[in-house]
């Protein structure tokens, strides 16, 4: 099936509105500090007009950022802003940006 025809049929393959970032924290980090990091990340994501879904514990955390709020595909600049925020936190050991895609 040609791309133009697929687009006309609205199969949804041209809309990328979510991505997933996961990070690992230093060992022995307190729950209060982890909650503070999650809250700061959520505030930044809301400023970028994303819904944020958070899952994790004191060792690691995953963030799903959803751009369906404004029906726009996240830009590469927005991805870099969110990743660099986590990189600037000294308690974060590693970050995995799982890229744009439909979840």
Phi, psi of 100 (to 5 degrees): -75, 150
Q: Give the per-residue pLDDT at 35.
A: 92
pLDDT, tens digit, 9 for 90 and up, residues 43-82: 998 888 888 888 888 889 999 888 776 656 677 788 888 8
Please report which confidence band the pLDDT of residue 103 belongs to, taking 50, 70 and 90 as the band edges: very low
The structural domains of the chain, ordered by start, are 20-101 (3.30.70.260)
For range 10-20, the mean pLDDT: 63
Please report which confidence band the pLDDT of residue 18 belongs to, taking 50, 70 and 90 as the band edges: confident
Residue 35, C-beta contacts closer than 8 angstroms, at least 6 positions apart: none
Phi, psi of 98 (to 5 degrees): -85, 5
Order of strands across the sheet that contains 18-25? 51-56, 60-66, 18-25, 92-101
Q: Give the per-residue pLDDT at 89.
A: 92
């Amino acid at each position: 099936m040609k791309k133009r025809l697929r687009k006309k049929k609205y199969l949804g393959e041209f809309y990328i509105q979510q991505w997933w970032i996961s990070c690992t924290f230093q060992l022995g980090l307190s729950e209060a500090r982890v909650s503070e990091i999650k809250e700061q990340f959520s505030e930044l994501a809301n400023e970028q007009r994303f819904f944020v879904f958070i899952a994790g514990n004191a060792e690691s955390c995953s963030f799903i950022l959803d751009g369906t709020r404004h029906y726009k595909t996240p830009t590469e600049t927005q991805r870099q802003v969110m990743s660099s925020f986590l990189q600037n936190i000294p308690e974060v050991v590693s970050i995995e940006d799982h890229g744009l895609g439909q979840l």
